[in-house]
Amino acid sequence: MVAKIKDVETTCGYCGTGCRLTLKVDEERNKIVDCEPAQSEINEGKACLKGWYGWDYLNDPKILTRRVNKPMIRKNGRQSPLVEVGWDEAVKFVADNLLAIKNKYGPDSIMGTGSGRSTNENNYLMQKFMRACIGTNNIDHCARL
């Protein structure tokens, strides 16, 4: 029997460029079996290796349950289990710990990382936060990692 393959056009989620991709979906198995760069003004039928070949994780049935959907912290040190908390508690926890590290070791002991998957505005805020609030120029982005 020949598999029935459906084309599903989508936008690559790996970085902010926004290349269009065509996923080849086996309808019976509901699985992505291939991917090709689509024609668009953005990528003109081309894609980098991440967009072209980095799709197999999408077939993992546990993809949704493995995502972190709520804030979690380790309340009793690095070896303690992660527990779900509310946003207010999570933000206070991060702020208190960043302040404690800054006071003890200085602002240059802290480094921030922006993301190619975030908007320019979010990345701008990240570097502003690191420079104006933390007081360091230790800011980089994921493309260098």
Three-class secondary structure of residue 90 per DSSP: helix
Both tokens assigned to 136: 């360091």
Would you say 54 or 71 has its CB closer to ligand SF4? 54
Looking at residues 43 to 82 of the shown chain, list those that interact with ligand SF4 (rule: CB under 6 A). Answer: 43, 47-48, 50-51
Is 19 a binding residue for ligand SF4 by CB under 6 A? The answer is yes
Would you say 95 or 142 has its CB closer to ligand SF4? 142
Task: Judge whether 34 and 40 are in contact, CB under 8 Å.
Answer: no
Closest CB 48 distance from ligand SF4, rounded Å: 3
Q: Is the dihedral of CA 67, 70, 73, 74 positive or negative?
A: negative
Task: Judge whether 23 and 6 are in contact, CB under 8 Å.
Answer: no
- Site residues (vs ligand SF4, CB under 6 A): 12, 14-15, 17-19, 43, 47-48, 50-51
